[in-house]
Structure 1
């Protein structure tokens, strides 16, 4: 199964961010639709989340949003998607997103985006999935994160090979290229974790 078949995008839900991040989200959404990639994301209609989803839908693509009941109102669940799944809790949401996606792209975001990235990297480290993870380093947003991980490796808290658990891209075209050339994932998330 191609890593581009369904792409899970993690990103921020804030509207109070620079246009450079909003534009990057829109470009990614358009490019995913162009490549007939189904977007899997957190189901909100606000912030970069909403921008990516709208761009995919407006470009003729397909979107699956997954949002827990308690966040449906808070993050304003998107009502104009191909599919909106309401879950009971965050764990069910995140697990469904991981199961439905063949790859993960991490746009700029807040604490929740960081948590989602680290969860997927950790799951990959533990062999629970083998799906590609791409950090979209818009405007150097994730420089400090990459530096931190490199520091963990240099201080022996993480292994050198952990650096290959993800890749970094600075443009939408780089993301597509990295996903197109990634090894074909098995498509499974090991049940031993859930």
Structure 2
């Protein structure tokens, strides 16, 4: 299975997020899955790539030119797919992956989550987006989406397109459906 990981490229975040990301990466590697990630050598991106690769899994880094030129390309990508910009990166990651998992992240991660989910809602793909809610990181976003749905701004049940895992075991259970 190819698992796209959307996540932070910031090193200055809660250390628990790194430990939990490494645990996920080790599981992905041991299960012989592949991580598709943004190709950056910082933050949770580097953590997921390193831990997956060290546990025997494959990694595919989708690297925008600006990251490459800035010397921020991860050394833990088995395959590098160069791209022009962030829009290209999202398109390539969507094409490469079977499922999308969002770890803690910022504006870029939110952009990736909602691009993948919105694309599914109108029929571009049938792939799932899963928020890995480490330490309740996504609680505020979940509350916002619940409010939007209650007010009628989200048609149907958004959980059909964005699922939530509150633990690694919960995430593993959701991913079993993709194998």
| Structure-1-length-normalised TM-score | 0.88
Task: Check whether the contact 2:149–2:155 (CA below 8 A) recurs between aligned residues.
Answer: yes
What secondary structure does 2:157 align onto? helix
Name 2:81's counterpart in structure 1.
Answer: 85
CA–CA distance in structure 2, aligned partners of residues 128 and 178 of structure 1: 21
Task: Check whether the contact 2:10–2:43 (CA below 8 A) recurs between aligned residues.
Answer: yes
Name 1:192's counterpart in structure 2.
Answer: none
Give RMSD over aligned pairs: 1.4
CA–CA distance in structure 2, aligned partners of residues 140 and 69 of structure 1: 33
1:160 aligned to 130, 153, 156, which one? Answer: 156
1:36 aligns with 2:29: no
What secondary structure does 2:175 align onto? helix
Deviations 1:144-169 (A, max 9, x none): 00110010011111123223212111
Name 1:148's counterpart in structure 2.
Answer: 144
TM-aligned CA deviation for residue 79 of structure 1: 2.3
1:173 aligns with 2:169: yes
TM-aligned CA deviation for residue 90 of structure 1: 1.8
Change (3 A) 1:111 1:75: farther
Deviations 1:133-154 (A, max 9, x none): 1100000000000110010011
Task: Check whether the contact 2:62–2:83 (CA below 8 A) recurs between aligned residues.
Answer: yes
What secondary structure does 2:105 align onto? coil
Which of the pair has the greater relative contact order for Cα pairs under 8 Å at 6+ separation?
Answer: 1
CA–CA distance in structure 1, aligned partners of residues 45 and 151 of structure 2: 35
1:135 aligns with 2:131: yes
Name 2:109's counterpart in structure 1.
Answer: 113
1:21 aligned to 17, 25, 29, which one? Answer: 17
1:95 aligns with 2:127: no
Instruction: Provide structure 1 residue ranges, at least 5 long, that are not aligned to the other structure.
Output: 185-194
| Structure-2-length-normalised TM-score | 0.95
CA–CA distance in structure 1, aligned partners of residues 123 and 45 of structure 2: 28
165-174 vs 68-77, which deviates more? 68-77
Name 1:57's counterpart in structure 2.
Answer: 53
**Paired residue total:** 179
